[in-house]
Chain A
């Protein structure tokens, strides 16, 4: 699975959009970009995933660049409960069982 690079920490004001970047320059054609987050003392939680098109769900939006070498997770209106570690993970899609290879992630702190 391709390696990802994320900033170690970011801050965001409550109510503002949080934009979390991820670089995955060695991504290959069949690899998806997944985002998970982990709130303190809980297990990781799936947020969103995509292959090459931008994706949106009730939690977030995922913007993948045309060359697929980087992506941005957008939380449109961050709340204090969004304070967590955010992990960007790249792995093969299709029917592969897909073990997740976590990096150290980005610690997002949302402040009032």
Chain B
């Protein structure tokens, strides 16, 4: 078990381009979360999956953002027509949903997006 992994770790793109990030949670964790963190701020919740079902989306997740978890394992976060305001660290976390640490969230290292 190597923890939550995210790919890529860094992404630089031009305004208007589409980007996609991937998150691989800890195996058998059925809960998966995406957060966004801008400089000097704490992470902000974006969306949550339980298995393959997306159960909550923040108002921060505009129409340009879409997230999927097709088989209840890895997840992708896509941003269409990127804007400079999308520049941030995108964090993924997973939790087991059962057992003694059922609600503890394990975070990945994040993907740092820079929109030029």
Contact = CB atoms under 8 A, between A and B. Distances in A.
Q: Do A and B bind each other?
A: yes
Contacts, number: 52
A43 B93 contact: yes
Contacts of A49: 104
Contacts of B97: 97
Interface stretch (A10-18, A62-70, A102-110): A102-110
Contacts of B26: none
Interface in A25-72: 42-46, 49
Contact of A100 (B41, B45, B108): B45
Nearest to A44: B107
Contact of A97 (B35, B40, B41, B55): B55
A44 B91 contact: yes
A45 B48 CA distance: 18
Contact of B109 (A43, A95, A96, A98): A43
B4 A43 contact: yes
Given A43-B91, A43-B108, A102 B48 contact: no
